[in-house]
Structure 1
Amino acid sequence: MESFKWQGCAEMAMAAPLERVWEIASDFCGMKKWYPALLVCERVEGTPEQGPGCVRYICSASSSSSSGDGILRAKEKLISMDCINHSYTYSVIDINIEGFQGYQSTFQVTESEEGSCAVKWNFEVEPIPGRSESEFVSKWSSVLTTILNTLQDLASSP
């Protein structure tokens, strides 16, 4: 029996070619290039080609961390990479947010009008004790939208 999970999504139309957005976003361990708020984003397991099984370590300033130092630390494992359909799925395997478990996310880029694309970033997570679903989903979707704004700026710059 599958357990209930909270689900959310961030979506954005981008005035940049699909190929350019995918080139940047598909670098699983290079997320710091398109989200400079990260203090660290580095490969800690897996092959240099960053295929499925690759694990990245990220950290950033966050009020959500349970460590008391204001730094969010997480390890994220690449589950699948589909370069034909321009999508990848990853899961959080370790994070310093109390009660944060079962997180999985899929990032996908699709072509829209010529020279532009759409990005959809879905996520699901097990309910977090002491948090409301609507508050968490809204906050997390907002964080992902902020990251997508930065990606769009980078992808549309010359």
Structure 2
Amino acid sequence: MEKASVAKWEGKVSTTLTKASADQIWSLFIDFFNFHKWFPNMSICYGVHGVNGEVGGVRYCAGFSLPNEDGGAEQNSWSKERLVAVDRNELSMSYEMVDCNVGFTSYLSTVKVVRGGGNGGGGGGGCVIEWSFDVNPVEGLTYEYLVQKYQDGLDQTAMKMEDALVEKKAV
């Protein structure tokens, strides 16, 4: 008897920044072991293997707000993620989740920072951040919920990054 094949969830969200350049934003994303500085509700992120920003580097992240396999009551979600591709010319990186307690299996995500797209306010040139994911369906979640979580997370991350860069420029 054949097993029914379940389609993977594939999604992509994006946000536009007008006060920061693509290179500025890229430098924050490629700081792979320190993403907790930018991502909402992520209290911990550090390297557990390899070199920060280099293919093969593995980070441990905790504190984000996806329901977890431990019941989700304390909302202490965690994951270990490996950087599997970096294209510094295209400002793109891909990572896979190698272990977690949020039910993700066969997870691959790509972040790409696209030059332009903003109105150039503040002399930054603007950019668009695209974040895509490919994951097996997650029990207890809907595809729509997951896409919205990605969009909300990206919007908040981008705002935090842009605000920090504008503040730094003002000093």
Q: TM-score, normalised by structure 1?
A: 0.86
Report how many residues are paired.
155
Q: Give the superposition deviation at 1:9.
A: 1.8
Structure 2 residue identity aligned to 1:17 = S
* Matches of 1:103 and 1:141, distance apart in 2: 17
2:95 to 64, 79, 90: 90
Evaluate the alpha carbon distance shift between residue 19 and residue 57 of structure 1 in structure 2; reply closer, same or farther with a 3 A threshold. same
Contact 2:41 2:65 in 1 (8 A): no
1:35-87 per-residue CA deviation (whole Å, 9 max, x = no partner) reads 3632111000113x531111000101525122243201110110011111101
Q: Give the superposition deviation at 1:25.
A: 1.5
In the TM superposition, what are the counterparts of 1:12-27 in structure 2 within 5 Å?
A: 12-15=15-18, 16-27=20-31
1:136 to 136, 140, 146: 146
| Structure showing the higher strand proportion among its residues | 1
Mind listing any 5+ residue stretches in structure 1 that lack a counterpart?
Answer: none
Q: Give the superposition deviation at 1:3.
A: 6.4
Instruction: Give the match for residue 4 of structure 1.
Output: 7
* Matches of 2:49 and 2:155, distance apart in 1: 28
Contact 1:25 1:31 in 2 (8 A): yes
Say whether residues 1:103 and 2:107 are aligned partners.
Answer: yes
Contact 2:39 2:153 in 1 (8 A): no
Evaluate the alpha carbon distance shift between residue 140 and residue 13 of structure 1 in structure 2; reply closer, same or farther with a 3 A threshold. closer
In the TM superposition, what are the counterparts of 1:55-66 in structure 2 within 5 Å?
A: 55-62=58-65, 64-66=67-69
Say whether residues 1:72 and 2:82 are aligned partners.
Answer: no
Mind listing any 5+ residue stretches in structure 2 that lack a counterpart?
Answer: none
Which stretch of structure 1 is more off in the superposition, 58-67 or 86-95? 58-67
Q: Which has the larger radius of gyration?
A: 2
Q: What is the SS of the residue equivalent to 2:37? A: helix
Q: TM-score, normalised by structure 2?
A: 0.80
Q: Give the superposition deviation at 1:92.
A: 0.9
Instruction: Give the match for residue 157 of structure 2.
Output: 147
CA RMSD after TM alignment = 2.1
Evaluate the alpha carbon distance shift between residue 63 and residue 119 of structure 1 in structure 2; reply closer, same or farther with a 3 A threshold. closer
